[in-house]
Structure 1
Amino acid sequence: MARPLKDPTGAELARLNLNVQARFKAAAKAKAQTHGMTLTDYLEGLIAADISDLQAATGIQEALIPKSA
């Protein structure tokens, strides 16, 4: 399941730019792939798992469930 191109509520998406060490990006991307997720989906999932208010928001959980779950 791919992440929708728009927020489930219809809100605009916000860009998040990160500068990380190349080895962290590679490791995160590889881990995301093991779950059948993109790097963006994986990072959103980590944030949602850490912030319970986001998990309760409509559509967030459904969009971020790893394929391996």
Structure 2
Amino acid sequence: FVANGVAIHSTYWHNNFGVAMSHGCVNARPDDARWIFRWTSPVVTYDPGDVTVSMPGGTLVEVVED
């Protein structure tokens, strides 16, 4: 999760993909989330736990509402 309230993560318990849900998160299908995270930095390990990055750093992802 990020400080400004926008995060992207996978989910499997509903079909409202690409729609802001609780906490302002954008939910993605597991395969789509995997693709996004493999093409961004920092590299995210698949171990349990959190990844914290001090800004500036990482890949900027702009979320645009329709």
**TM-score class, shorter:** under 0.3
TM-score, scaled relative to structure 2: 0.24
More helix as a share of residues = 1
More strand as a share of residues = 2
Higher relative contact order by CA 8 Å / sep ≥ 6: 1 or 2?
1
